[in-house]
Structure 1
Amino acid sequence: MTFTIHFNFGDLEAIQHGEPLVSFFLLHVLTALLSHDLPNFISHQFHYLALHAFKYSVRHPFNHLANWSNTSSICNWAGVTCDANTERVSILNLADMSLTGTLQPQVGNLSSLVELDLHSNSFHGELPKGLLQLQKLKILNLSSNEFDGKIPAWIGSLFFLQCLIFWNNSFKGVIPPSVSNLSKLETLDWNDNFIHGSIPLEIGRLQHLKILHIAGNYLSRKIPPTISSLSSLEQISSSHNSLTGYIPNEIANLTNLKMIYLTHNQLFGYIPRSIGSLTSLQELDLGYNNLRGDIPNEIANLRNLKAIYLDANNLFGYIPRNIGSSISLQELDLGSHNLQEQPAALDLIIAVVGWWAVLPTSSFGWQYVLAFI
């Protein structure tokens, strides 16, 4: 039996830091040769070296990585979970450990990784292309760090991703159209970054997407009609951007929607009457836009609504008679409009709303009235 070993000892030198890793490695090579289990050994050692490279590229002031040493199995290291059958690293969860540093490309050598969670630390810099080697990855959570640079197009080649969570970083650039290649994606949360440009038309290809959070960025232009193809969508949040144009009528196709947050944009036109088809909707926030016209009567069809925010637009006409007919309704904000209340509608609102209501009223000079029920 013949074995050929290709190994870069430069990696060892870069992370050695006084530990006898070379002799440790060579000793285990001999052990593996004798047991004829060299392929598994090589894989295990690449994982070992990748984790060591990770450890020595970050600061861990609270010593959370103290047991990351060759005196114990990597499967017992803090934040590391191994597959029970292969003993290869499958999960690396180092969330909220006050770690500071950059993400090194060697992390891509953790080829069996299905979950990488580094949220709530202080990592910075750009995403290393080495992540592209993590072809089994299902969950990538880098939220609440200081990562920057553009979100790379190669992110769309991590085909097994189900959750891609980057909120509260400093990513810039545009939403890469290649993200539409992530056919298994269920959660895309990129809130609170510096992403600009438009929502790509290709996003409609994400048939399994349930959560789309892109609020708190610098997105502009229209909401693409292709968003109506996201048949599994339950939450859409694109608040605090600069989106313009109409709310597409096609939104009525998203019958699984439970939450719509489009507040603080520059949307104009009418509230589409087709919104009355979204019978699973629980929260609707269209406040602080340039919407005009009346509040559609069809909104009374939304019997599961808990909160409605339509404040700070240019709405006029009558408040729909049955707007408070939902037994779940707890919050209603129609403030700062030229709306006229119908007595029957006002009585129903006061009878049903459980927490608070903000209504325009002529008897108070069209100022807010806060009614605690």
Structure 2
Amino acid sequence: MANIHFPFLSLLLIQCFIIAFSTTATDQSALLQFKAQIEDPRNALGNEWTSTWMSVCNWTGVSCGHHHRRITALDLSNMGIKGTIGPQLGNLSFLVSLNLSGNNFHGELPRELASLRRLKLVDLSNNALSGEIPAWFGNLTALQQLYLGGNRFQGEIPWEIGKLAALEKFGVQNMSLVGQLPSSIFNISSLKEIRVYNNSISGTIPSDMCDHLHHLQVFEISTNKFFGHIPSNIGECKNLQTLSLSLNQLNGFIPSSIGNLTNLEVLYLDGNSLHGKLHSALTFFF
């Protein structure tokens, strides 16, 4: 009986090896094509990024899963890399974390990245990326952290961002964004950080913001064009540690409920048309 099953098991093992090798080769090919479109003046990627004999899992900035040996994380942050983000990265189908921040990538984001449905972290901040923020980010429903700030993105924040039900940290600061902050974003109950400062975003702060954002710790919207009143129930965002509303067009009274924010460490209200008093224990500017 054992002799009958042995050839079958051997064939199965060989097939598994071939599948594993071919899928790993797909990841390696994607990175080699990506490398061909960029400049690496510091040689930060090292010689292994030109090698086909070394396992891709041992390349600088690459992490792989323990079992399937597919690329799960790509961290090339702060390496001085120049060039465009090629569509080949869309073939890294097991990618969970993509960090290309602090480089000199330029151009628009390739739509092929929309196929990376396992992504939980995307950090493309502090580059020179341009165009509009793609609506297809809304399809990456596993995303927990999305950092796009410090680029040259223009236009409006797509409403599709509000589809990211697992999103915890969202940063699009220091750019030239216009329009309103999509109301759908204020319904993402998992959000802990919203950073949209230094843009030209307008609109009002929803009066029911704290009804949904129970975990919000950072709300930074300074240096924009927000108008209207600060929600009277802002004190119900109990976990707020940073509240930065300065240099907008807000008016009316400073809500007394701000005094209920016992975890608050940073408060900026200056550069608006606000009046009233705050809890004496708070340090503030307005």
Which 10-residue stretch deviates more, 269-278 or 165-174?
A: 269-278
Counterpart of 1:345 in structure 2 is: none
Contact 2:173 2:195 in 1 (8 A): yes
| 2: CA distance, partners of 1:80 / 1:254 | 39
Paired position in structure 1 for 2:7: none
- Deviation (angstroms), 1:250: 3.0
Which of the two has higher C-alpha Rg? 1
Alignment partners' CA distance in 2, 1:253 and 1:33 = 59
| Equivalent of 1:98 in 80, 86, 89 | 80
Q: How does 1:103-142 map to 2 (within 5 A)?
A: 103-142=85-124
Percent pairwise identity: 38
**Secondary structure of 2:150 counterpart:** coil
Q: 1:224 deviation in Å?
A: 2.1
- Aligned counterparts of 1:114 and 1:225: Cα–Cα separation in 2: 35
1:57 is matched with 37
Question: Does 1 or 2 have the higher relative contact order (CA < 8 Å, sep 6+)?
Answer: 2
Residue 218 (structure 1) aligned to one of 200, 206, 214: 200
**What whole-Å deviation, never above 9, does each CA across 1:35-73 have from its counterpart, x for those lacking one?**
212332222121011101110010001112221110211
Q: Secondary structure at the match of 2:98?
A: strand
Root-mean-square deviation (Å):
1.6
Do residues 209 (structure 1) and 175 (structure 2) align? no
How does the TM-score come out when normalised to structure 2?
0.91
What does residue range 76-87 of structure 1 map to in structure 2 within 5 Å? 76-87=58-69
Q: Aligned pairs, how many?
A: 272
Deviation, structure 1 residue 276: 2.0
Q: Aligned equivalents of 1:165 and 1:225: distance in 2?
A: 26
Correspondence 1:282 to 2:265: yes
Contact 2:80–2:104 (CA under 8 A) maintained in structure 1:
yes
- Which residue, out of 147, 150, 153, partners 1:171? 153
Equivalent residue, structure 2, for 1:35: 14
Q: How does 1:223-372 map to 2 (within 5 A)?
A: 223-228=205-210, 229-292=212-275, 294-296=276-278, 299-300=279-280, 303=281, 305=282, 307-310=283-286
- Measured after TM superposition, the shift of residue 226 of structure 1 is 4.1
From 167, 173, 196, the counterpart of 1:191: 173
Which consecutive unaligned segments of at least 5 residues does structure 2 have? 1-10
1:252 positional shift: 2.2
Give 1:186 deviation, angstroms: 0.8
Distance in 2 (alpha carbons) for counterparts of 1:96 and 1:157: 27
Give me the TM-score of the superposition, normalised by structure 1. 0.70
SS at match of 1:67: helix
- Is contact 2:102–2:127 with CA below 8 Å preserved after alignment? yes
SS of structure 2 residue aligned to 1:225: coil
Long gaps (5+) in structure 1: 1-31, 311-373
